[in-house]
Amino acid sequence: MDGKPEKRNEVVLQGNEACAKGALYAGCRFFAGYPITPSTEIIELMSGEMQKAGGAFIQMEDEIGSACAIIGARWGGSKSMTATSGPGYTLMQEAIGFAAVTETPIVIVNVQRGGPSTGQPTLSSQQDIYQARYGSHGDYEIIVLSPSSVQEMYDFTIRAFELAEQFRTPVILLADEVVGHMREKIVIKDGTEEIKSEKHQYVVSPQEDFFKGANSTVEGQLHDDQGRRIGHIASKSGDFIYNINRKIQDNIDSIASIDTYCMEDADVAIVAYGSVARPSLNAVKHARGIKDDRFMSKAKIFRDLFKRGVSETLSSDYGHLKVGLVKINTVWPFPEELLKQATKNVETVIVPEMNIGKYSREVERALRDKKVIPMSKCGGDIHTPTEILDKILEVEGLDEEVK
């Protein structure tokens, strides 16, 4: 680049703060919420900043009320968001189905904690991966983004608003306690982005925002393109269901996003999403003998290796391992084609996730010809790079040598 370097707004933020700032940048002007760990920083920040940005904020009496309020506000013309965790996300489910069926563009943040029930208020998990997809009753498709860094908390929140408006659908930002609470230096933008609200060609019942003289009908019962109920007519209702699902499925090419790392010559791939992509990347770097490491201090690497009784020379010993990473950014709709493409030359796929091994089933379904190894971790701790490295060594048949 010649000329002056672009002005970079570098700030150190917590993931939850970055999410709130991303929303404000994306033009979110209504926030309703109810406090719950580990998402509380988002409502706290919004309670001070939203009104400064000219928007409205309300602390509701519960999470279902919060989800309902943001839907109401969106029909009033304000881009809107709520944020929650665990039990609060469960309480919102009926409203998420309502937003899907009424094609209301809203953003819901779930900073995952451990469950079920009150579970583990302060520890991380990825246990809501399927609830994010199918949490409300009935058949619908939904868009779910999974950030793995503070920068992505910011960027994916903005992207969530874009996708919500483009496809007229609720979009879930499926974060977790680790990315929600960590602090990193990120680049943020000034001002507000103009996100266009499109009436996409697949939108089934394109109702106008209120007070535009359109006499819009926002109807939770299955309805025709005018918003009139058709729930009692089987054939028309069937069409509605197919259409509302197709509008996401048929446009997966413009929704799906993955990142790959060292996949060109890889014969083993780690497929990870959210915060678990971080130790996964780290493990890949170790296996490849790549010294540079943004994600873990040298001291920590050595400590981990030391604990395992392995010498510092490990990276040169195992630096030849052909391992790569596929980081899934849009967990739903499932980026099947992108994943197939990225992994077409690998034999083995390892899927580390902080739950009982849920997403790995979907990966297995998509990659039938490969060996898919789930790497479940429950209890609240994120996988360490060493654990993932161990699994890589095991897959490569090298684990005995290390012991």
Partner 1 sequence: MNKLYEKYIKKESLPTLFCPGCGNGIIQRAAMEAIEMNGCKEETACVSGIGCSSWIPCYLQLDVIHTMHGRALPFAEGLKLAQPDKKIMVFTGDGDCVAIGGNHLLHAAARNIDLTVVMVNNNIYGMTGGQKSPTTPLEAKTKTSPYGCIDMPMDACGLVMTLGASYVARWTTAHPVQLTRSIAEGMNHKGFAFIEVLSQCPVQAGKNVWGEKDPAKIMDLYKKYTYMTKTGEVDPAGARSASAIEGKLPIGVFRNDPDAPEYLEKVEAKLAECGIR
Q: How far is CA 401 from CA 240, 287, 302, 318, 373, in A?
A: 58, 14, 19, 11, 21
52 binds partner 1 (CB under 8 A): yes
Shorter beta-carbon distance to partner 1: residue 42 or 73: 73
Find the shortest distance in angstroms from Cβ 244 to partner 1.
17
Q: Spell out, one character per residue from 210 to 229, where the chain touches partner 1: x when CB under 8 A holds, - when not.
A: xx-xxxxxxxxx----x-xx
State which of residues 25, 89, 98, 332 lies at the interface with partner 1 (CB under 8 A).
Answer: 98
C-alpha–C-alpha distance, residues 359 and 337, integer Å:
16
Answer for the pair 392, 323: CB distance below 8 angstroms, yes or no.
yes
Find the shortest distance in angstroms from Cβ 209 to partner 1.
9
Q: Which two structure tokens, joined as six digits, stand for 179?
A: 């990315």
Residue 292 neighbours by CB distance under 10 Å: 5
Size of residue set near partner 1 by CB under 8 A = 44
Shorter beta-carbon distance to partner 1: residue 233 or 356: 233
295 binds partner 1 (CB under 8 A): no
Q: How far is CA 107 from CA 47, 79, 95, 386, in A?
A: 17, 9, 12, 35
Shorter beta-carbon distance to partner 1: residue 79 or 278: 79
Find the shortest distance in angstroms from Cβ 207 to partner 1.
9
* Beta strand residue intervals within 304-347, DSSP E: 323-328, 330-332
Q: Cβ neighbours of residue 119 under 8 Å, at least 6 residues apart?
A: 86, 113, 125
State which of residues 11, 35, 44, 77 lies at the interface with partner 1 (CB under 8 A).
Answer: 77
State which of residues 94, 239, 336, 364 lies at the interface with partner 1 (CB under 8 A).
Answer: 94
Q: Positive or negative CA dihedral for 392, 270, 275, 142?
A: negative
95 binds partner 1 (CB under 8 A): yes
Q: How far is CA 157 from CA 109, 148, 390, in A?
A: 9, 12, 34
137 binds partner 1 (CB under 8 A): no
Shorter beta-carbon distance to partner 1: residue 75 or 295: 75
What is the DSSP secondary structure assignment for residue 148, as one 8-state letter?
A: -
In this structure, which amino acid lies at residue 337?
E
C-alpha–C-alpha distance, residues 187 and 22, integer Å:
11
80 binds partner 1 (CB under 8 A): yes
Find the shortest distance in angstroms from Cβ 333 to partner 1.
25
CA dihedral 156, 161, 163, 166 (to 10 degrees): -160
Q: Which two structure tokens, joined as six digits, stand for 280?
A: 């996964």
C-alpha–C-alpha distance, residues 332 and 141, integer Å:
8
Shorter beta-carbon distance to partner 1: residue 216 or 376: 216
Find the shortest distance in angstroms from Cβ 160 to partner 1.
18
Phi then psi dihedrals of residue 122, to 5 deg: -105, 0
Shorter beta-carbon distance to partner 1: residue 91 or 310: 91
> What is the maximum alpha-carbon separation in the chain?
74
State which of residues 25, 30, 154, 161 lies at the interface with partner 1 (CB under 8 A).
Answer: 30
Strands 120-124 and 107-114: what pairing? antiparallel
Shorter beta-carbon distance to partner 1: residue 63 or 362: 63
* Beta strand residue intervals within 18-169, DSSP E: 30-33, 56-59, 80-84, 107-114, 120-124, 143-145
Shorter beta-carbon distance to partner 1: residue 137 or 196: 137
Find the shortest distance in angstroms from Cβ 64 to partner 1.
7
Q: Spell out, one character per residue from 57 to 76, where the chain touches partner 1: x when CB under 8 A holds, - when not.
A: -x-xxx-xxx-xxxxxxxxx
Shorter beta-carbon distance to partner 1: residue 211 or 242: 211
78 binds partner 1 (CB under 8 A): yes
Shorter beta-carbon distance to partner 1: residue 68 or 366: 68
Find the shortest distance in angstroms from Cβ 262 to partner 1.
46
Residues that bind partner 1 (CB under 8 A): 29-30, 32, 51-52, 54, 56, 58, 60-62, 64-66, 68-78, 80, 94-95, 98, 102, 210-211, 213-221, 226, 228-229
